[in-house]
């Protein structure tokens, strides 16, 4: 990582570069094998000699490995830049922060748009179905590659929170703490329904061609509509009212099907921008993995977690109707019934689900103090993870 130009932004980590880790063979939960597999990742800060200060940040549906800092010749910082850097929630003067693009993604990691070595063409729908556990198992390979035996914490919101829960259930001896944010043990019928409408909008696009659109026009209209649907669920009624109201862009002629209202223009802008950076097939695979996820594996979560020594901080937001607070409370209840040391906070925000990206001050305060507390076990006692 290049740490020059730290003055670009307040407490910025400066310029960063995306790296790649490739391993030859990977067995999926389905029993299929996939390989070679590449994961794109970035790191911020320095790993201490004990390798005890590593924090894994896991991203949501449309995220990538670029969580903080700036890429050369780009003006926009990483998607969680406000939280990662010197003195921030994830203090890079203290912690070694890792973020990787997920398996099945389209930002440097192996996914449906990657070349299938057996054919020399993109996988498209020949790419196998993946699960959240597969995504986490691939992340575990990366962490081992970096020489880290145990993570200080794994942190993520939304789909990232599902990955956090997968780490918590499947690898409790590989993490010291977990911070699931605005997430759920398993999707409700409503959450599945929203994802299915998005998938159907992509597959209804004439350019989708059963996933074989590479080399030709992409199903941009379908993917844009899927993203528009997503953005509606990410906001709240109040945040939309405050941001847009019923304002119109211009008078124009009435009853023409143009983006007259500001909110219409916003959704179209978001949809059109999204198709420039995301692959439609990845959207299908990732949302299906989210819908199929059940952290408890069909059991009661408290039974699965019983005996775990992992410390948990769960965060939700009052105006989040996509991942409502009751779902985080279910996680907290299961943790406490299992005897897991758990802290819970419901933040009073009007931003809806997007709050996990936007409520910087209060969210950062909670994370900063939680990490300080859990790291104390190593710094003072030298008894890391026991």
Residue 221, φ and ψ in degrees, nearest 5 = -65, -45
Q: Which residue has the higher pLDDT, 60 or 265?
A: 60
User: Sorting pLDDT into bands at 50, 70 and 90, what band is 197?
Assistant: very high
Query: What mean pLDDT do residues 326-347 have?
Result: 98
Check pLDDT > 50 for residue 282.
yes
Average model confidence (pLDDT) across the chain:
93
Under the banding of pLDDT at 50, 70 and 90, the label for residue 261 is confident
Average pLDDT over residues 323-348: 98
Q: What is the mean pLDDT of residues 255-274?
A: 86
pLDDT band of residue 4 (cuts 50, 70, 90) is: very low
Helix, strand, coil percentages in the chain from 3-state DSSP, rounded to 5:
40, 15, 45
Q: Write out pLDDT tens, residues 285-312.
A: 999 999 999 999 999 999 999 999 999 9
Q: How many CB atoms lie within 10 A of CB 22?
A: 11
CB-CB neighbours of 178 under 10 Å: 28
- Quick one: angle between helices 189-203 and 220-234, nearest 10? 160
Q: What would the pLDDT profile of 125-171 be if each residue is shown by its tens digit?
A: 999 999 999 999 999 999 999 999 999 999 999 999 999 999 999 99
At residue 249, the pLDDT reads: 74
* Strand duo 26-27 + 33-34: pairing: antiparallel
- Helix and strand tally (H, E) in the chain? 11, 14
Residue 267: closest CA among 328, 224, 316 = 224
Q: Which domains does the chain have, with CATH numbers?
A: 19-187+294-381 (3.40.50.1820), 192-288 (1.10.1740.110)
List the catalytic residues. Answer: 158, 320, 353
Cα separation of 102 and 109, whole Å?
A: 6
pTM: 0.94
Spatial neighbors of 6 by CB under 8 A, at least 6 apart, are 12, 13, 14, 86
pLDDT digits (tens, 9 = 90+) for 213-226: 999 999 999 999 99
The confidence score (pLDDT) of residue 57 equals 98
What confidence category does residue 260 fall into, taking pLDDT thresholds of 50, 70 and 90?
Answer: confident
Supply the pLDDT for residue 383: 60
Provide the β-strand partners of residue 153: 55
8 confidence band (pLDDT: 50, 70, 90) = very low
For residue 52, which phi and psi values (nearest 5 degrees)? Answer: -115, 5
pLDDT given for residue 213 in this prediction:
98
pLDDT score recorded for residue 5:
33
């Amino acid at each position: 990582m290049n740490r020059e130009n730290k003055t670009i932004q307040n407490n910025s980590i400066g310029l960063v570069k995306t790296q790649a880790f490739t391993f030859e063979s990977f067995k999926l939960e389905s029993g299929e094998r996939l390989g070679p597999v590449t994961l794109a990742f970035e790191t911020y800060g320095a790993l201490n000699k004990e390798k005890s200060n590593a924090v894994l940040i896991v991203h949501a549906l449309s995220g990538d490995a670029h969580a903080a800092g700036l890429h050369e010749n780009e003006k926009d910082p990483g998607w969680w830049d406000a939280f990662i850097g010197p003195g921030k929630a994830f203090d890079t003067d203290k912690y070694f922060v890792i973020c990787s693009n997920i398996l099945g993604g389209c930002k440097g990691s192996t996914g449906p748009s990657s070349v299938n070595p057996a054919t020399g063409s993109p996988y498209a729908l020949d790419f196998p179905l993946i699960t959240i556990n597969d995504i986490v198992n691939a992340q575990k390979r990366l962490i081992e590659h970096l020489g880290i035996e145990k993570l200080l914490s794994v942190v993520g919101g939304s789909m990232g929170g599902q990955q956090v829960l997968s780490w918590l259930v499947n690898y409790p001896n590989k993490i010291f703490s977990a911070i699931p944010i605005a997430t759920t043990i398993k999707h409700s019928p409503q959450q599945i329904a929203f994802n299915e409408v998005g998938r159907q909008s992509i597959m209804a696009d004439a350019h989708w061609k059963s996933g074989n659109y590479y080399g030709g026009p992409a199903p941009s209209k379908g993917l844009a509509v899927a993203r528009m649907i997503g953005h509606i669920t990410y906001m709240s009624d109040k945040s939309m009212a405050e941001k847009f109201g019923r304002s119109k862009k211009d008078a124009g002629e009435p009853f023409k099907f143009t983006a007259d209202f500001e909110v219409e223009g916003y959704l179209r802008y978001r949809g059109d921008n999204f198709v420039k950076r995301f692959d439609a097939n990845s959207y299908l695979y990732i949302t299906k993995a989210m819908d199929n996820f059940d952290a408890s594996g069909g059991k009661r979560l408290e039974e699965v977690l019983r005996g775990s020594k992992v410390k948990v901080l769960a965060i939700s937001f009052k105006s989040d109707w996509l991942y409502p607070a009751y779902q985080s409370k279910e996680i907290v209840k299961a943790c406490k019934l299992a005897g897991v040391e758990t802290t819970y906070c419901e933040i009073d925000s009007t931003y809806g689900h997007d709050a996990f990206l936007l409520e910087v001050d209060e969210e950062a305060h909670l994370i900063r103090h939680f990490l300080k507390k859990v790291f104390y076990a190593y710094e003072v006692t030298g008894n890391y993870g026991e």
